[in-house]
Each structure stands twice: as C-alpha cells, then as structure tokens.
A and B are shown apart, each in its own frame.
Chain A
C-alpha cells in the first residue's frame, strides 16, 4: 500500500482538526480499510485513528436508549449489549470472525456502509440516530445507497443511539466464502410500530421493507407476511445469487426474524 501520514488524536476536537486536512480519512478498526489500501483501491494521504479518543468507546443504556461509542468494537457490543438489546448484540456477535470483531468498530462499519454489512440493517431497523462531531442524523436520512451516507468527508461518528425495541432479531444468510450477508434482515417491534431493514440484497443498499412493515404492524407474526418476497427489480444479481433468489430470501429471512423475536 502507499504510505500516509498517521495521527492518533486523544479528543474529538483534535480528530476533527486532523480530519480537515486534504486527503484525510478516519481509521476505525481498519478491517475493511486496510485490505482496501493494500489493493490500492484507497490511498488516503492522512489516516486519523479513532481508537484512542476519550469517550468514544463503550456501551451504555439511558432509559430506553442504548448508546454505543463510535469506536466500540463488535466484540464489546456483543458482550456489553447482550442483556440490554440482545437482538443487536447477536447481530454484532455474527460479524466477520472473532479476530475481526476484536478490531472492527460500529462507527467504521456505518461510515463505510458496505451494502452487505450487518450494522446498517441494525441501525436502520432500529431507527437509530448517528451522532457526529457536528450533528445528529436519523438512520432514515443517514443511509443513501451503496457506500453512500449523509456524512461529510471530514465528519466523525462519535456515537450511535438505538431505541431499544420490545423485541428484535437479525437473520443473515451468509455468502459462504466471504461470510458477508448475501441477504440480512433486521426486524424490530416497538410499541408504536414495526421496522424491517434489509441488507446485502439490494442495488440501493440497506433499505426498509415497507410492505412487510405494514403487514406486521397489524399482525406481528410469520403468517402476516406468508408468501411475500422482496421486489426482484431492485435486487443485486451476481454469481452468488440471482435477483429473484435474493428477493425470495428477503421474504424467508424476514419470516425467520419475526419467528426469532419469539
């Protein structure tokens, strides 16, 4: 990979200053960015490490909201959110493999917004709020297509706040080689409605499946969405699965997620 300047700020303010430099890029756990840089698909001039910034690591519940620091690893979320928001902890415990989960961070995953990543489904399916050094962004506004988000180039995800649902479940059908989601579905039931978010499947990236939400709002059961599938016109088609297959999986996994809510 090409060399770069490296900086490891201690505060969000210092990080924001460093991110203002030309060609600066935030470095979370680097589990996507480092392989990407090795392939020279990315060549940032300055890397700003997020791993040692005060107040950006941790999991805390305040009332019915779970707040996760932007530099918190998947392994820590899996452990520390297990009692507070088990559906989200289970999602975190299935990302990558144990070594990847010990480095990869929620802020890194959401900032990258890989169309097959797990966290975007958890955030959108929960109606989370992404907090940056500049503002709060609701998940509905945050995700804007494959690898596209509402973040400005120099913006840093400092934390993510999740409303804790009555119940939630994430189901992932893994692409067997990469173990990324061929299709993943996060379903969450709140007292004021159901949210269903789909990752991996679509050309538009993570998105809500509103038809299923409507059906589940009146009857939160597998039978309410019996026979339904996603819209094949929007789905990714590649050697791992046709658009029709992915659309079918969206239906199957949503039913499994609803069943998994118990």
Chain B
C-alpha cells in the first residue's frame, strides 16, 4: 500500500492508505484522529470538512493520495496549545452553537474558512457559506450567532 506524508495541524505525519482511501478515513482510521466526523459520507452534510492547503474541503470526497504532501488542518488543531478553546470554539459554546455536537467539527472548520476569507460576514453571508454544512439540532440560529460573535459583531440573540 502507498504511504502518504502530510503536515496535519503543523506536525509531519506518514500514513499507509489504499488508493481508494478517502482523507476522512485516513485521518480517523489511519491516524486515529477521530475529531473529523463522517456524517453522510456522500459530500452533503459537511461534518467532515477540513482544510487542505488552506481551503475547506469535504474530506470524505477527496482521496488521501490527493492530499499527499499537503498541509491539513483539522478540528484537533483549533484549540490553543494549553487546551483552551479558540475564539470560534468558545463562541459556539457561549451561543449554544451545538447540541449533540456531531456536525460541530465541520461547522467550526467551515466557519474558520469563512472568517479567513471574510472577517466580518453578514448573517446572510454566514448562512450562504454554511450551505454545505447540515445540523439537525440547532436550527442554525445559535451557529450563526456564534460566528457573528467570533467575528466581533453583535448577535441577534444575546448570550445569557
């Protein structure tokens, strides 16, 4: 089986994959990094979103071999080195941006990509950008509020 090397959250790693292994499986099963979730496995739900060379992609729909040599960022790399939550993660907690939490890794990674492109998105821009991330719990309002708050903007529903 081929071996690929990647920089995952800044650390060089090697992992053996089959040609057909998708990146989400390489991360979860090959590297034991189960923070990246697989929801639908059909490129629709967005729970598996990671960044490959700085771009948000659905890791269930890119072959691991296509990420050979790439810089990969996952949810595991989002918190600060001391384990405390980053601004976006903290905002999700403060604004009830999750209930069951299954979609949250993808939501955080998509939201992080959005804020990198557009540091002060409008509510409409946030909703548009999250088109490919599905949450069954929150009705999205808490997620939108969290991203508004993380980008330093006032939210429609203030946190208690």
**Interface residue ranges, A against B (CB under 8 Å):** 1-6, 8, 27, 30-31, 34-35, 37-38, 47, 49, 51, 75, 96-100, 102-103, 179
Those 4 A-B pairs whose CB atoms lie nearest each other, nearest first? A97-B132, A102-B55, A6-B19, A97-B131
**Interface residue ranges, B against A (CB under 8 Å):** 2, 18-20, 22, 41-43, 46, 49, 55-58, 61-63, 65-66, 110, 113-114, 129, 131-133
**Of B19, B20, B43, B66, which contacts A31 at CB under 8 A?**
B43
Given A1-B20, A6-B19, answer yes or no on A35-B113 (Cβ-Cβ < 8 Å).
no
**Of A3, A8, A98, A102, which contacts B18 at CB under 8 A?**
A3
The reply to whether B20 and A100 form a contact with Cβ atoms under 8 Å apart is: no
The reply to whether B58 and A100 form a contact with Cβ atoms under 8 Å apart is: yes
The reply to whether A99 and B58 form a contact with Cβ atoms under 8 Å apart is: yes
Query: Once the chains are docked, how many angstroms separate the CA of A3 from the CA of B55?
Result: 27
Query: Once the chains are docked, how many angstroms separate the CA of A261 from the CA of B63?
Result: 40
Query: Once the chains are docked, how many angstroms separate the CA of A214 from the CA of B43?
Result: 41
Query: Once the chains are docked, how many angstroms separate the CA of A102 from the CA of B46?
Result: 13
B62 cross-chain contacts in A, Cβ below 8 A: 30, 34, 103
Closest to B48 in A: A99
B114 cross-chain contacts in A, Cβ below 8 A: 98
Closest to A75 in B: B55
The reply to whether B63 and A179 form a contact with Cβ atoms under 8 Å apart is: no
Query: Once the chains are docked, how many angstroms separate the CA of A169 from the CA of B38?
Result: 37
**Of B19, B66, B133, which contacts A3 at CB under 8 A?**
B19
The reply to whether B63 and A99 form a contact with Cβ atoms under 8 Å apart is: no
Given A1-B20, A100-B132, answer yes or no on A49-B56 (Cβ-Cβ < 8 Å).
no
Given A30-B63, A34-B63, answer yes or no on A99-B20 (Cβ-Cβ < 8 Å).
no
A37 cross-chain contacts in B, Cβ below 8 A: 20
A8 cross-chain contacts in B, Cβ below 8 A: 65-66
A47 cross-chain contacts in B, Cβ below 8 A: 19, 63
The reply to whether B131 and A98 form a contact with Cβ atoms under 8 Å apart is: yes
A-B contact list, 29 entries, CB within 8 Å: A3-B18, A3-B19, A4-B19, A6-B65, A8-B66, A27-B63, A30-B63, A30-B66, A31-B43, A34-B22, A34-B61, A34-B62, A35-B43, A35-B61, A38-B41, A38-B42, A47-B19, A97-B131, A98-B56, A98-B114, A98-B132, A99-B46, A99-B49, A99-B56, A99-B58, A100-B61, A100-B132, A102-B56, A102-B57
Query: Once the chains are docked, how many angstroms separate the CA of A31 from the CA of B61?
Result: 6
**Distance to closest chain B CB from A140 (angstroms):** 32
The reply to whether B20 and A3 form a contact with Cβ atoms under 8 Å apart is: yes
Query: Once the chains are docked, how many angstroms separate the CA of A88 from the CA of B56?
Result: 22
Closest to B106 in A: A99
B113 cross-chain contacts in A, Cβ below 8 A: 98
Query: Once the chains are docked, how many angstroms separate the CA of A89 from the CA of B42?
Result: 26
6 additional contacts, CB 8 Å, given A30-B61, A37-B20, A100-B58? A1-B20, A47-B19, A97-B133, A99-B58, A100-B61, A103-B57
